[in-house]
Amino acid sequence: MAVATRGGIFVSMWKSSANLNRVCWHAALLEQHVSKHRGKALGLMIVLPSAAPPQGAARVEANAVVRRIGPHLRCGVTAALGETLQAQVVRTVMRGIFLVSGNAKRHLVVNTEAEGIESIVALVEASAPSRAELVATLSSLHEAPGTEPVERVS
Protein backbone atom coordinates (compact mmCIF):
# COMPACT_ATOMS: atom_id res chain seq x y z
CA MET A 1 0.00 0.00 0.00
CA ALA A 2 1.03 3.57 -0.50
CA VAL A 3 0.13 6.83 1.24
CA ALA A 4 0.58 10.49 0.31
CA THR A 5 -0.75 13.79 1.59
CA ARG A 6 -1.56 16.94 -0.33
CA GLY A 7 -2.48 19.74 2.01
CA GLY A 8 -5.50 18.54 3.98
CA ILE A 9 -6.06 15.54 1.69
CA PHE A 10 -4.86 12.11 2.77
CA VAL A 11 -4.55 9.72 -0.19
CA SER A 12 -3.99 6.01 0.20
CA MET A 13 -3.84 3.18 -2.29
CA TRP A 14 -4.44 -0.39 -1.21
CA LYS A 15 -2.69 -2.85 -3.51
CA SER A 16 -2.81 -5.92 -1.24
CA SER A 17 -5.16 -7.36 1.34
CA ALA A 18 -6.15 -5.21 4.29
CA ASN A 19 -4.42 -7.34 6.92
CA LEU A 20 -4.07 -6.22 10.53
CA ASN A 21 -0.56 -4.77 10.09
CA ARG A 22 -1.59 -2.68 7.07
CA VAL A 23 -4.80 -1.50 8.73
CA CYS A 24 -2.87 -0.39 11.84
CA TRP A 25 -0.13 1.33 9.79
CA HIS A 26 -2.73 3.14 7.67
CA ALA A 27 -4.68 4.12 10.80
CA ALA A 28 -1.60 5.58 12.53
CA LEU A 29 -0.78 7.77 9.52
CA LEU A 30 -4.39 8.81 9.03
CA GLU A 31 -4.80 9.69 12.70
CA GLN A 32 -1.66 11.82 12.55
CA HIS A 33 -2.97 13.61 9.45
CA VAL A 34 -6.44 14.16 10.90
CA SER A 35 -4.97 15.60 14.11
CA LYS A 36 -3.08 18.18 12.03
CA HIS A 37 -6.16 19.08 9.97
CA ARG A 38 -8.91 18.46 12.53
CA GLY A 39 -12.35 18.88 11.03
CA LYS A 40 -10.91 19.87 7.64
CA ALA A 41 -9.12 16.70 6.56
CA LEU A 42 -10.34 14.83 3.51
CA GLY A 43 -9.49 11.24 2.72
CA LEU A 44 -9.29 9.48 -0.63
CA MET A 45 -8.75 5.73 -0.47
CA ILE A 46 -8.20 3.83 -3.71
CA VAL A 47 -8.67 0.07 -3.45
CA LEU A 48 -7.16 -1.80 -6.39
CA PRO A 49 -8.69 -5.05 -7.65
CA SER A 50 -5.69 -6.91 -6.16
CA ALA A 51 -6.68 -5.81 -2.62
CA ALA A 52 -9.00 -7.73 -0.33
CA PRO A 53 -11.22 -6.27 2.40
CA PRO A 54 -10.22 -6.67 6.04
CA GLN A 55 -11.03 -10.00 7.70
CA GLY A 56 -11.32 -10.99 11.36
CA ALA A 57 -9.13 -8.85 13.64
CA ALA A 58 -8.33 -6.48 10.77
CA ARG A 59 -12.05 -5.80 10.23
CA VAL A 60 -12.56 -5.18 13.96
CA GLU A 61 -9.64 -2.71 13.91
CA ALA A 62 -10.93 -1.03 10.72
CA ASN A 63 -14.33 -0.52 12.41
CA ALA A 64 -12.59 0.95 15.47
CA VAL A 65 -10.50 3.28 13.31
CA VAL A 66 -13.56 4.62 11.50
CA ARG A 67 -15.30 5.22 14.85
CA ARG A 68 -12.24 7.05 16.22
CA ILE A 69 -11.31 9.08 13.18
CA GLY A 70 -14.60 9.42 11.30
CA PRO A 71 -16.04 12.26 13.35
CA HIS A 72 -12.85 14.31 12.85
CA LEU A 73 -12.60 13.72 9.10
CA ARG A 74 -14.56 16.19 7.00
CA CYS A 75 -15.22 13.58 4.37
CA GLY A 76 -13.77 10.32 3.16
CA VAL A 77 -14.10 8.82 -0.30
CA THR A 78 -13.34 5.18 -1.06
CA ALA A 79 -12.96 4.11 -4.68
CA ALA A 80 -13.02 0.32 -5.03
CA LEU A 81 -11.86 -0.24 -8.60
CA GLY A 82 -13.15 -2.89 -10.94
CA GLU A 83 -16.36 -4.75 -11.64
CA THR A 84 -15.34 -8.07 -10.14
CA LEU A 85 -17.12 -9.78 -7.28
CA GLN A 86 -14.11 -8.81 -5.13
CA ALA A 87 -14.65 -5.10 -5.88
CA GLN A 88 -18.36 -5.44 -5.08
CA VAL A 89 -17.46 -7.08 -1.76
CA VAL A 90 -15.00 -4.29 -0.92
CA ARG A 91 -17.65 -1.64 -1.65
CA THR A 92 -20.22 -3.47 0.46
CA VAL A 93 -17.80 -3.94 3.37
CA MET A 94 -16.77 -0.26 3.28
CA ARG A 95 -20.40 0.92 3.20
CA GLY A 96 -21.16 -1.40 6.12
CA ILE A 97 -18.22 -0.11 8.15
CA PHE A 98 -19.30 3.49 7.58
CA LEU A 99 -22.95 2.73 8.34
CA VAL A 100 -22.25 0.82 11.57
CA SER A 101 -19.84 3.52 12.77
CA GLY A 102 -22.42 6.27 12.30
CA ASN A 103 -20.24 7.99 9.68
CA ALA A 104 -22.14 7.07 6.52
CA LYS A 105 -23.10 10.68 5.77
CA ARG A 106 -19.45 11.77 5.67
CA HIS A 107 -18.11 8.89 3.60
CA LEU A 108 -18.73 8.04 -0.02
CA VAL A 109 -18.03 4.79 -1.80
CA VAL A 110 -17.52 5.10 -5.56
CA ASN A 111 -16.58 2.78 -8.42
CA THR A 112 -13.72 4.52 -10.18
CA GLU A 113 -10.62 6.55 -9.41
CA ALA A 114 -12.04 9.39 -11.52
CA GLU A 115 -15.23 9.44 -9.41
CA GLY A 116 -13.11 9.50 -6.26
CA ILE A 117 -11.01 12.39 -7.52
CA GLU A 118 -14.07 14.33 -8.70
CA SER A 119 -15.74 13.83 -5.30
CA ILE A 120 -12.70 15.24 -3.50
CA VAL A 121 -12.31 18.13 -5.98
CA ALA A 122 -15.98 19.04 -5.52
CA LEU A 123 -15.49 19.11 -1.75
CA VAL A 124 -12.37 21.24 -1.99
CA GLU A 125 -14.06 23.73 -4.32
CA ALA A 126 -17.21 23.75 -2.19
CA SER A 127 -15.16 24.50 0.92
CA ALA A 128 -13.57 27.62 -0.56
CA PRO A 129 -15.38 30.79 0.52
CA SER A 130 -17.36 32.59 -2.16
CA ARG A 131 -16.43 36.08 -3.28
CA ALA A 132 -19.39 37.47 -1.32
CA GLU A 133 -18.23 35.70 1.85
CA LEU A 134 -14.72 37.06 1.43
CA VAL A 135 -16.03 40.59 0.87
CA ALA A 136 -18.20 40.30 4.00
CA THR A 137 -15.24 39.01 6.00
CA LEU A 138 -13.02 41.83 4.80
CA SER A 139 -15.75 44.36 5.53
CA SER A 140 -16.03 43.14 9.11
CA LEU A 141 -12.24 43.32 9.44
CA HIS A 142 -12.32 46.89 8.12
CA GLU A 143 -14.79 47.77 10.87
CA ALA A 144 -12.79 46.10 13.64
CA PRO A 145 -11.35 48.45 16.27
CA GLY A 146 -7.84 49.66 15.50
CA THR A 147 -8.08 49.03 11.75
CA GLU A 148 -6.70 51.79 9.54
CA PRO A 149 -9.11 52.87 6.79
CA VAL A 150 -8.15 51.48 3.37
CA GLU A 151 -9.85 51.15 0.05
CA ARG A 152 -12.58 48.50 0.30
CA VAL A 153 -13.32 45.67 -2.03
CA SER A 154 -16.83 45.68 -3.46
45: which strand partners?
12, 78
Q: Give the confidence band of 94 by pLDDT, cuts at 50, 70, 90.
A: confident
- Residue 144 above 80 pLDDT? no
Q: Give the confidence band of 124 by pLDDT, cuts at 50, 70, 90.
A: confident
- Residue at 137 is within a domain: no
- Residue at 82 is within a domain: yes
- 67 lies in which domain range? 2-128
What CATH number should be reported for the domain holding residue 108?
3.30.750.24
Looking at per-residue confidence, does 82 or 131 come out higher?
82
Helix 85-101 × helix 57-69 angle, to 10°: 50
- Residue at 146 is within a domain: no
Q: What rounded mean pLDDT belongs to the chain?
A: 81
Angle at 85 between CA 99 and CA 97, to 5 degrees: 15
pLDDT (0 to 100) of residue 151:
44
- Residue at 86 is within a domain: yes
- Residue at 143 is within a domain: no
Looking at per-residue confidence, does 106 or 44 come out higher?
44
Q: How many distinct structural domains can be found in the chain?
A: 1
User: For 84, which DSSP code?
Assistant: S
